[in-house]
A = this chain, B = another copy of it.
Amino acid sequence: MKNFKVGVLGATGAVGQKFIRLLQNHPWFSVKAAGASKRSAGKKYKEAAHWIEAADIPEAIAEMTVRACNPKDFKDVDFVFSGLDSSAAGEIERKFAEAGIPVISNAKNYRMDEHVPLLIPEVNPAHASLIKSQTFTDDGSGWIVTNPNCVCVPLATSLAPIYEAFGIEAVAVTSLQSISGAGYPGVSSMDMIGNVVPFIGGEEDKIVEEPLKMLGKLNNQHVKPADFKVQAAAMRVPTIAGHLLSVSVQPQAKLDDIEEAVRVFETRKNPVEKLNLPSSPDKLFKLYKNPHHPQPRLHAERENGMQIGIGRLRSGTLFDINYTVLVHNTMRGAAGGAILNAELLVREGYLE
């Protein structure tokens, strides 16, 4: 396997730090460049970043000089991961793509662009082919792929088997989101100790629309979104890592028994299993039988934070399928998800 040289945009922020830590011993990817704002550019990484990861800064990165996010300064990399803030990502990512540098982005800006894959390898790997419809460069060398909002990852991933097996009419979801989802410094401790904040600006709109694109059907380099309704309430709770969702689903087909849904989760074939992607979890779904599980503090880090935990799968009075689902929001839900996307794109030949 070729070793790819990668850059990280937004490298000093919370998502950028997670990219750097997850890539530290990656078998395929090596971080060769760290990009950040002009304020940080020119400084050593260890001086520019307010490091918040538990592990130390990887030594090679610590001494690296941070670059400004200009494509011309990233000619030595094969592609970039973007952990940029959405306020900057729109313009910078476009410029990188136009310069022929592929962008694997965690930012929200291009997620709903009809030419940009919104990708979870285990959900909609075929959507990667939207890349071919992108026109940033004449030769197709520059393009953008995105991973979804951190709540949409467990939502779409857990809806996929249901959608495939039964169809879906309607979904209601209340999310209990951890503070790490807001970056650093992010949420004030004054808002979080012994408290819940029942609103996260902009979050619910993403929950309503991103899953529909991901579960949509690809036809002739165009995705037709899935056709069901999602009702969302997004709340911030004082957990460190791990978004927990309370999900209710009305399938199109009538279920005789909730065990039908259990079987669907237990038997669904992972569409990328044969690719042996390094960041893939051994088991995509873990179904917890103890109704008190999964819990963010105990279970979010299972399988290096890449597993989706499902609990309390049960029937109900109003919706036929109800469950809780847990994701590690900064691993599978952000940087780890983007890295998994890059791995898929390597295997599929988009990155060479």
Contact = CB atoms under 8 A, between A and B. Distances in A.
A188 B187 contact: yes
Contacts of A196: 176, 237, 239, 244, 295-296
A65 interface: no
Contact of A198 (B172, B180, B312): B312
A190 B54 contact: no
Interface in A282-319: 291-299, 301, 311-312, 316-319
A296 B194 contact: yes
A298 B56 CA distance: 10
A284 to B, nearest CB: 17
A319 B199 contact: no
B297 A199 contact: no
A28 B246 CA distance: 44
B233 A198 contact: no
Contacts of A292: 197-199
Interface of A: 52, 54, 170-172, 174, 176, 179-180, 184-199, 201, 208, 229-231, 233, 235, 237-240, 244, 246, 248, 291-299, 301, 311-312, 316-319, 322, 324
A309 B92 CA distance: 41
Contacts of A187: 188-190
B239 A195 contact: yes
A311 B239 contact: no
Nearest to A197: B292
B195 A192 contact: no
A226 to B, nearest CB: 13
A70 B321 CA distance: 47
Given A170-B318, A188-B185, A235-B176, A194 B197 contact: no
Nearest to A319: B231
B246 A298 contact: no
A188 B190 contact: no
A237 B192 CA distance: 11
A339 to B, nearest CB: 22
B248 A295 contact: no
A191 B298 CA distance: 9
A199 B291 contact: yes
Contact of A318 (B230, B238, B246, B298): B230
Contacts of A197: 292, 295
